[in-house]
Amino acid sequence: MFKLNLKIAWRNLWKNKGYTFINILGLSIGMASCILIFIFIRYQMSFDEGFKNEDRIYRLTTNWTSADGFAESQGVPKPTPAAFRNDFKNQVEKVGSIRQDGGVIKVKDDAGKERIKVQEDVFYAEPEFFQIMNFEWLEGNPNQSLTQPNTVVLSQEMANKLFGDWNKAVGKTINYQNRDNFTVSGILKDIPDNSSFPLNIVVSYQTFKNYKNENFNSWGNTSSNDECYFLLKPSVSIDEIRSILPKFSEKYFQKDNSGKEEISAQALTDVHYNENLGNFANRTMPKKELYGLAIIGAFLLLTACINFINLATAQAVSRSKEVGVRKVMGSLRKQLVFQFLTETLTISVLALLIACVLTEIALPGMRSLFQDNISFSIISHPIILVFIVVLVIVVSFLAGFYPAMVMSGFSPALAIKNKISANAGGLGLRKVLVVVQFSITVILIIGTLVVLKQMNYMREKPLGFNPSAIAMVSVRNDSLSLLKYQILQERVSKIPGVLSTSFCRNPPSSSNNNESNFRYNGTEKANFQVNTKVADENYFKTFGLTFAAGRGFSKSDTIREIVVNETALKKLNVVNFNDALGKKIRIWDKEGTLVGVVKDFNNLSLHEPISPVLITTVKENYRNLAVKMDSKQILAVMPKIEKIWNDTFPENFYSASFVDDDISQYYETERVMGVLFKVFAGVIIFISFIGLFGLISFVATQRTKEVAIRKVLGASTIELVRMLNGSFLIMVFIANLVAWPLAYLFISKWLSTFTYRIEISIWPFALAMIISMVITLITVSIRSFKAANANTIDALKYE
């Protein structure tokens, strides 16, 4: 019986090749998108998994509540781990610090010649950290390898890179920052990509504690580099810790009128998803984005299934006779439903095979879009196979069940006489489904238009300074390097094509920011903090900053003269900026004179408003040389800068980046989102319109006789085309009306995450309507024109 059904299924699919093709094409594209989205989500959800006791591991974080709002850091003040260990003895099993750092690693060969020089991330970790997180060790163990100062543990890959063979690495020495020599005391198994802990070089925390300039008693300083993890005792609930933490914070943090500082606890399982708190891998994936993707995937699949349902129910009429005959022969409805579901299953499986091929083809693009190492390996991730099987079953039921019910429900008496009318297959439902399908399509079109417009706006919005053709060349700030600043600057300035240079900590807009309290004009500490920028006197010229009042400061190595932005003075309630010139400002326990007010510039991403900014001179805090170049000569200039730099600092590692690249990096999420929207909108438009084409083909066939009669009665081709198109245009029009409010909600929510954003105008909506209506018109006209032009009389001959 099953074999016979399969045979009939196969013959039917073959007979209606056109519809089968449309169904399989739509379904396979929809399925491929779903599989891609699934493997991406699976990959993202696999981060930081598999640690023993993973549900008892937490990270301590710091947050500030102030008049300006709420801020969080993934780090804690350096004394926190010790204090926490002591105060929470009864609740917590282990507490371990880990600090991220980075610098130049050198390895010498046996003869003492420098063999390798690389810039690497380096971590300082307490043995407890590795007791909490059971990373796999190939050699050594946390207790032995990380208790002594100046010992280092390498990952297998890093050991291979530095010493050729990790088996021979233990006992050898590496040099860090031309300063320390560390002995290799252990080897870690390579940490997979899906980890928030890219630990390749881990130095004992004791080494860090021995540095003279590090202060382990100050609670007033929090660096996002200082993370701390703890392991809860099995019987203790995290709520208990959380209820005591406010008291703990109160006990240690200094009270101060500008805000309240607190320590809180974050579960390890949240580390990869929380975008407000970062992690060492610098990759977070907010869960809401994953949900968003899952929803888009569901939409895609739904759209494809709607095609299927529409075409199947439309075709149902032509199969009514078969149903009638089978019923007369004694087939039960259940058996018929089963038969039709077999057909759907056949189509779904075919579609799946194609979907797998499409997935493989699309995967490289997806990998480069997300810069993640996602793979479509059923063997290493059997869950993907489970998903695929579930997908096929769900699709078969979603797409097949309703048509099966319709067809199996035909009355045999009518069916045999071929008296089932074209409307029997749920014409009303078909219309509703088309409206749903096109609403989804229109929402995606509108969304895409708005996302692209906002991206464009961000690219083109004047930031208040000129970030183009400026390289930030990093420099060290140790005393030896400081001595060479002047010679470096002089030599770089002489390169033809270099317009201006400035030593500074950060460019005007940066994701590295320093906030500080200050006193204005001898009064109380201001009730807000300023974003501080330290730079030399050429900063304003190099970045094209302009003044609202006063001038730039003159050359100095320490705080002497100060420049602030307009926002800072407005927040201090200064109305006339000139009044402020000459006033004293006290910051970092030093005093300077306010000599200028720069016009406001965007110092953060366009998601954020402009902060109050203070710019002054502190030579030992510069970390970069900003080099403004003639944009046509960048390619020629950069290698020359590198050469001069390497001549000047032969011991160090040259690195440079472009300011405009760094700025566009702020919008990486939005860029990815833009690409996704474009792709998925394209896919959904394609699926919807091939579905529409299938449907109009069907309708045209169904109405051949009617078209012929009308033609005999004098209808012109245009009138016939208009008649056939009419209902489709109306459906798409209604879909637009349904889509607009939903799209409006969605885009206004998305745009509200930007402080600087485009106004929502009628245009994306109108454009989406025009696009959808025009494509509909073209799609259906192609087919209805053919129908209206077909030979009339043949259609009239027979009943």
Residue 38 CB, shortest distance to another protein, in Å, is 45
Tell me which residue has tokens 């016939």: 720
Q: Which of 714, 753, 759, 762 is close enough to bind another protein by CB under 8 A?
A: 714
> Measuring CA to CA, how many Å separate 317 from each of 227, 431, 670, 695?
67, 17, 48, 14
Q: Which of 326, 711, 757, 783 is close enough to bind another protein by CB under 8 A?
A: 711
User: With respect to another protein, which residue has the nearer C-beta, 138 or 715?
Assistant: 715
Nearest to 452 by CA among 675, 218, 775: 675
Residue 105 sits at φ, ψ, to 5 deg, of -105, 130
Alpha carbons within 13 A on the beta-carbon side of 632: 1
Nearest to 684 by CA among 354, 444, 449: 444
357: CB partners within 8 A, 6+ apart: none
Tell me which residue has tokens 């008049």: 67
Q: Which of 8, 715, 734, 771 is close enough to bind another protein by CB under 8 A?
A: 715
Residue 327 CB, shortest distance to another protein, in Å, is 22
SS3 content of the chain, % helix, strand, coil (to 5): 50, 20, 30
User: With respect to another protein, which residue has the nearer C-beta, 414 or 672?
Assistant: 414
Contact status: 712 vs another protein (CB under 8 A):
yes
**CA 689 from chain center: how many Å?**
30
User: With respect to another protein, which residue has the nearer C-beta, 381 or 710?
Assistant: 710
Nearest to 406 by CA among 345, 344, 319, 328: 319
Say which DSSP state 256 is in: -
Query: Which one of the spans 216-224, 446-454, 704-712, 757-765 is the region binding another protein (CB under 8 A)?
Result: 704-712
Q: Which of 90, 171, 749, 798 is close enough to bind another protein by CB under 8 A?
A: 798
Distance (Å, whole) CA 361 – CA 354: 11
User: With respect to another protein, which residue has the nearer C-beta, 390 or 796?
Assistant: 796
Residue 427 CB, shortest distance to another protein, in Å, is 11
Contact status: 706 vs another protein (CB under 8 A):
yes
Interacting positions 391-430 with another protein (CB under 8 A)? 421
> Measuring CA to CA, how many Å separate 795 from each of 705, 706, 722?
5, 9, 20
Interacting positions 250-279 with another protein (CB under 8 A)? none
Q: Which of 499, 709, 742, 777 is close enough to bind another protein by CB under 8 A?
A: 709
Tell me which residue has tokens 């925390």: 205
Tokens of 530: 């300023």
Residue 708 CB, shortest distance to another protein, in Å, is 8
CB 335 within 8 A of CB 8: no
62: CB partners within 8 A, 6+ apart: 72, 73, 75, 76, 77, 222, 261, 262, 263, 264
219: CB partners within 8 A, 6+ apart: 77, 79, 80, 252, 253, 254
Residue 423 CB, shortest distance to another protein, in Å, is 8
Residue 732 CB, shortest distance to another protein, in Å, is 22
Residue 14 CB, shortest distance to another protein, in Å, is 21
Say which DSSP state 406 is in: H
Q: Which of 716, 748, 755, 761 is close enough to bind another protein by CB under 8 A?
A: 716
Q: Which of 111, 713, 752, 753 is close enough to bind another protein by CB under 8 A?
A: 713
Contact status: 239 vs another protein (CB under 8 A):
no
Nearest to 672 by CA among 44, 7, 9, 31: 44
Residue 416 CB, shortest distance to another protein, in Å, is 16
* 201-204 vs 114-125, strand pairing mode: parallel
Query: Which one of the spans 47-55, 470-478, 569-577, 707-715 is the region binding another protein (CB under 8 A)?
Result: 707-715
Query: Which one of the spans 9-17, 55-63, 403-411, 711-719 is the region binding another protein (CB under 8 A)?
Result: 711-719
Number of residues located near another protein, criterion CB under 8 A: 20
The sign of the CA dihedral 504, 509, 513, 515 is: positive
| One-letter amino acid of 545 | L
User: With respect to another protein, which residue has the nearer C-beta, 634 or 790?
Assistant: 790
Query: Which one of the spans 476-484, 488-496, 577-585, 716-724 is the region binding another protein (CB under 8 A)?
Result: 716-724
User: With respect to another protein, which residue has the nearer C-beta, 4 or 793?
Assistant: 793
Three-state SS at 47 = coil
Query: Which one of the spans 91-99, 150-158, 236-244, 715-723 is the region binding another protein (CB under 8 A)?
Result: 715-723
User: With respect to another protein, which residue has the nearer C-beta, 22 or 788?
Assistant: 788
Interacting positions 337-376 with another protein (CB under 8 A)? none
User: Which residues here bind another protein, judged by CB under 8 A?
Assistant: 421, 705-706, 708-717, 719, 792-793, 796-799
